[in-house]
Amino acid sequence: MKKTILLILITASFLFLYSCSKKNNITVEKSSEATSPVQTQQELILTPLQNLFTKTGFQLPQKNLASIDFKLKDLTGKTVSLSSFKGSIVFLNFWATWCPPCRAELPSMQKLYVKYKNRGLVILGVDLQEDENLVRDFVKKNGLTYPILLDSNSQVGQIYGARSIPTSYIIGKKGFILARTVGGREWNKQEIYDLFEELLKK
């Protein structure tokens, strides 16, 4: 099992391009909006959906990449598994309360969630290595209503290569990773809405 996870990690490292800087083995990325699409995609013929991803600065996997299931507890103590959301579009966001770009993007993520939650969008905010009470107070103070999961030992974050935060993945209805972005952004812009309109109509 350990060998399998290690192989997946190595594969994922080569499937995506990313950059990092350090703090407690977790790094902070200020913004991803100025980044260009993954260069290896330029030689491919992209679908309209892939074009929307690259237009908004997402990185695309070079081949079909299944998401890795996990189970984490939420702030109510309930165990939540990623696989339970198959059939929905999952926005998986790795973050922490001490991270400035994470905090900056949360209000627009909440707006995105409110806009699309009844149409099949699931946002899972995975907090890395923080005290449960601290996270609970932060979530309440900032009015976040989407599920917040606690990755106390950062095991899931490591599996997903979240060396920099915020790191976000978009996972399709069949459980495949569609795209990834590293760094904070505004999630309530029209180009982001256009992307999710396309995702949710499929």
Answer whether 0.85 is exceeded by the pTM: no
Domain count, the chain: 1
Q: Is the peptide bond before 166 cis (omega within 30 degrees of 0)?
A: yes
Residues with Cβ within 8 Å of 13's Cβ and at least 6 positions away in sequence, in order, are: 161
Tell me the C-alpha distance between 119 and 68, whole Å. Answer: 24
Between helices 190-201 and 100-116, what is the axis angle to 10°?
Answer: 50
Tell me the C-alpha distance between 106 and 103, whole Å. Answer: 5
What SS3 class is residue 151?
strand
Whole domain around residue 169: which residue ranges? 2-201
The answer to whether the CB of 109 falls within 8 A of the CB of 147 is no
Active-site positions?
102
CATH of the domain at 111: 3.40.30.10
Per-residue pLDDT, 129:
97
Q: pLDDT tens for the chain, 202 residues: list them.
A: 544 444 344 344 433 433 333 355 555 555 544 333 333 334 456 799 999 999 999 999 988 899 999 999 999 999 999 999 999 999 999 999 999 999 999 999 999 999 999 999 999 999 999 999 999 999 999 999 999 999 999 999 999 999 999 999 999 999 999 999 999 999 999 999 999 999 998 6
